[in-house]
Amino acid sequence: MSTAAVISRSEGAKTCGGADGRPVGLPSLTGLRWTAALMVFLYHVYVVEYFGGRAQGLVGAAFGAGNTGVSFFFVLSGFVLAWSTARTPTGRGIVRFWRRRFARVYPLHLVTAGAALLLLWLPGAGEKPSAGPVAANLALVQSWVPQVRYFQGLNPVSWSLAAEAFFYLAFPLLVRPLRRTGWRGSAVVAVVCLAVVMAVPAWMELSGLPDGTIWSNYFFPLYRLPEFVLGIACAELVRAGRWRGPGLTVAVAVTLGGYFLGSQTDYAFHAAACTVVGYTTLIAAAAQADLRGEPSPWRGRLSVRLGEVSFAFYMVHILVIRAGESLFGGHPKLGLTNGGPLVLAASFCVSLALAWALHVWVEVPGRRLLLRSRRRGTTSVS
């Protein structure tokens, strides 16, 4: 993908697009997807306690806030959708948009859900799911039900797909009024969303809500919506040439500071409040680096390739970790000298190999099949 940008004037605002009017590709954002997926993988290694003792403490200090990679995905999703959808979907365009989104995520979700069902028959896999949670998972509505057996059923990470499915449905309704308000409206929306993401966890803490409310302040799709809308607003500001955030170096520093601050919080839902500013500035700064042709560590061929398989890696990694638990026992708490690094390396390599296979043989052909035109037998352009 080219990183050159053709700057044109439209209604008094600068917009970024190619010579054919299509939005310019932003390869650094693809590379960043891999970084976020790797964060989530290492967070789950910490949660299942592959390591014990001092090693576990080190892993927790480094990756205890890795679950905020999901927050990064939500902001990035809003940014990329707004950036790639130059024309606001209307009428049949909305249906085509929904169809492309469905084709993008569902084939991989269906296959990994089937794999999760098979894993439940391994020794020590735990209670088998009932029909309700399975049906909700396949319909991508599991995150709307405040019961663990629903929003963490089958493939646990798929709860975020239920949130994304809601975002996809809402996107045409969100982006149309936002674009009518111009860049000033986008700036106001971005500030409001940032304030909401940062303030609501503090309000919940001061309200004395019990720990059992983690569904409402972590998994509930409406709770995560401000992160998605924040991404949309930031993309509109970058498109209009009105983004005034820091450059890539400062954005990385802010991101790292917020990440390690998030690792010190007591509850997972606090971490996103610490990292959202850094993640937002990093996404926008990486996009601008691509537009200006400035150096970016996420634009290299390997980074982009890993970013392309990151969705498959995200969807399969927890299943690999679960399979490892069936071999080594739940929460094995291994040390640095008695197999811990080897188990970690094996889990990573198997996850990456399966991710590549799923991307090549499921994700890409599944999307092409679902987007194939019934009339002409050709694949529609997304």
Classify residue 355: in a domain, yes or no: yes
pLDDT-derived band at 20 (thresholds 50, 70, 90) equals very low
13-27, 159-173, 239-253, 307-321: range with lowest mean pLDDT: 13-27
- Per-residue model confidence as pLDDT tens digits over 224-233: 999 999 999 9
Classify residue 69: in a domain, yes or no: yes
Q: Hey, what amino acid is at 78?
A: G
Sign of CA dihedral 155, 156, 162, 167: negative
- Per-residue model confidence as pLDDT tens digits over 163-210: 999 999 999 999 999 999 999 999 999 999 999 999 988 787 777 665
Mean pLDDT of the chain: 87
Classify residue 176: in a domain, yes or no: yes
260-264, 337-341, 358-362: range with lowest mean pLDDT: 337-341
CA distance 270 to 196: 12
Around 210, how many Cα atoms within 13 Å sit in the side-chain half-sphere? Answer: 1
pLDDT-derived band at 365 (thresholds 50, 70, 90) equals very high
129: its two tokens: 């799911």
Burial class (CB in 10 A: 0-12, 13-18, 19+), 368: middle
Would the pTM count as exceeding 0.85?
yes
Assess whether pLDDT exceeds 50 at residue 126.
yes
pLDDT mean over 15-29 = 68
Contacts of 77 (CB under 8 A, 6+ apart): 164, 167, 228, 231
Assess whether pLDDT exceeds 90 at residue 124.
no
Classify residue 147: in a domain, yes or no: yes
Sign of CA dihedral 122, 123, 124, 130: positive
- What is the pLDDT, as a whole number, of residue 51? 87
H or E stretch covering 138: helix 131-138
Classify residue 379: in a domain, yes or no: no
Range of the domain at 244: 6-371
> How many domains, the chain?
1
N-to-C CA span, the chain: 15
Classify residue 246: in a domain, yes or no: yes
Classify residue 378: in a domain, yes or no: no
pLDDT-derived band at 121 (thresholds 50, 70, 90) equals confident
Contacts of 373 (CB under 8 A, 6+ apart): 379, 380
pLDDT-derived band at 214 (thresholds 50, 70, 90) equals confident
Classify residue 1: in a domain, yes or no: no
